[in-house]
Amino acid sequence: MVTAVLYNPLREKERVLEHFYLWGEFVSLASVVVLAGTVLTRYADAISEKLQLGRVFIGMMFLGFVTSLPELVITLSSLVEVEQPDMGVGNIYGSCLFNLFMICLVDWLFMRGKVFVKTQKGEAVCGLMSIVLVAVSLAGLTLGGRFGVSHPRFFDPLSINFGITSFLILVVYGVASWVLYRAERMPKQEQTAPPDRSGLWRLLVWSGVAALAIVLAGALLTRTCDRIATTYKLGHSFVGTAFLAAISSMPELVCTFAAARLGSVGLAFGNIFGSNLFNIAILAITDAAWRKGLIFAHKTGDEHMVVGLCVVIVTAIYLVAGQMDYRARRRVGWVTGVAGVLYVGGLAAAFFLSRL
């Protein structure tokens, strides 16, 4: 016997409104994150100029930290608020891959195949350290999630849920920061004038306001994306890799485009590699926040491994091209072409693997 389903126009209208409100909320919160992140990036650039830090160090540590603040808030909210570690991990690896794709956009729009000609050793150090951190995090996910390898009990006497992988990530990040700072620090005899720090406090206050807006909007955006993943059955890891990663990487996009238009390739590469470094460090920082266990002991999907490997491969390609002083004969060379294909392929793999 076939039961007829009666069409209810009122119920259908309510469903349409629910979808409309859901995506309207997503767009509104994403706009707040993007605008606040853009403002914060501009203030960070002004603050770094007053502090007279090295350009690659500015890109790696200062701007890299500031532009990665949305990733920190969203990942923390994914663990604490909605308790979806897959969405948080996907946000981190997806953001790293999207950051690398920005180099392709910079080359296609501004540099016309010459983005790797002006790279320096400082950027190579940043890129190499980011490869090491991504490799350490992938090894932690593989050993902990697949083989059940856990950190020794004596390593965490206070029971704060902090694993050995997170500890290694923070150590490598600290070493990379110190090495780059020492390499770019200006000797005292070469400093011609003291830095002009007028208006520094005003910049710091407005930066704090922008950061607070990112924190509040990022926390709400995570809940909205959790509803999107549930409503459309997209998978939390894919939503984190595609949606949250793209939104949280908008400040990096603005900063990278601004640096490229000024002809500062070093600042652009430093910002990208520095953001990726801090993104992986976010996994270690937020590891203690998830009270249900360790991030690197959680059984994650294969999509994170695929996206993480794409990050390692694209970064390695960039480093080799920079050392070779690669110059493309066309606007789209083989380096940026391969990187673009890996970005699209990584997202496609994350989508299909998350639905298995």
How far apart CA 177 and CA 55 sit, in angstroms, is: 13
* 54 in a structural domain: yes
pLDDT band at 145 (very low <50, low <70, confident <90, very high): low
The string of pLDDT tens digits covering residues 16-69 is 788 888 888 888 888 887 788 777 767 766 776 676 655 555 556 666 677 777
* 199 in a structural domain: no
- Give the per-residue pLDDT at 237: 80
Angle between helices 265-285 and 85-106 (to 10 degrees): 170
- Give the per-residue pLDDT at 154: 45
DSSP code per residue over 148-202: -----GGG-TT-----HHHHHHHHHHHHHHHHHHHHHPPPGGG--S----TTHHH
Non-local (6+) Cβ contacts of 285 within 8 A are: 72, 166, 170
Report which of 109, 99, 125 is spatially closest to residue 268, judged by C-alpha positions: 99
* 196 in a structural domain: no
Task: Report DSSP state, residue 324.
Answer: T
Of 305 and 19, which is predicted with more confidence? Answer: 305
- Give the per-residue pLDDT at 17: 83
Of 181 and 109, which is predicted with more confidence? Answer: 109
Query: Does the pLDDT of residue 250 top 70, yes or no?
Result: yes
Average the pLDDT over 183-200 and give the result.
57
- Give the per-residue pLDDT at 312: 95
* 5 in a structural domain: no
How far apart CA 53 and CA 59 sit, in angstroms, is: 10
pLDDT band at 174 (very low <50, low <70, confident <90, very high): confident
pLDDT band at 307 (very low <50, low <70, confident <90, very high): very high
How far apart CA 109 and CA 102 sit, in angstroms, is: 10
The string of pLDDT tens digits covering residues 261-290 is 766 666 677 778 888 888 899 888 888 777
Would you say 261 and 113 are in contact if contact means Cβ atoms under 8 Å apart?
no
The string of pLDDT tens digits covering residues 69-92 is 788 888 888 887 777 888 888 889
- Give the per-residue pLDDT at 226: 82
How far apart CA 174 and CA 177 sit, in angstroms, is: 5
Burial (CB count <10 Å: 0-12, 13-18, 19+), residue 52: middle
How far apart CA 270 and CA 219 sit, in angstroms, is: 28
Percent of the chain with pLDDT over 90: 11
The string of pLDDT tens digits covering residues 204-245 is 888 788 878 877 887 788 788 888 888 887 777 888 788 888
Of 81 and 185, which is predicted with more confidence? Answer: 81
- Give the per-residue pLDDT at 314: 94
Domain that holds residue 82: 16-183+205-354
* 7 in a structural domain: no
DSSP code per residue over 289-318: G-TTS-GGGS---HHHHHHHHHHHHHHHHH
pLDDT band at 329 (very low <50, low <70, confident <90, very high): confident
Tokens representing 137? 């995090």
Number of domains in the chain: 1
Q: What is the pTM of this model?
A: 0.81
* 69 in a structural domain: yes
Average pLDDT over the chain reads: 77
Query: Does the pLDDT of residue 189 top 50, yes or no?
Result: no
* 244 in a structural domain: yes
CATH number at residue 335: 1.20.1420.30
Of 148 and 219, which is predicted with more confidence? Answer: 219
Percent of the chain with pLDDT over 70: 75
Non-local (6+) Cβ contacts of 258 within 8 A are: 41, 45
Q: How many CB atoms lie within 10 A of CB 161?
A: 17
* 311 in a structural domain: yes
- Give the per-residue pLDDT at 36: 80
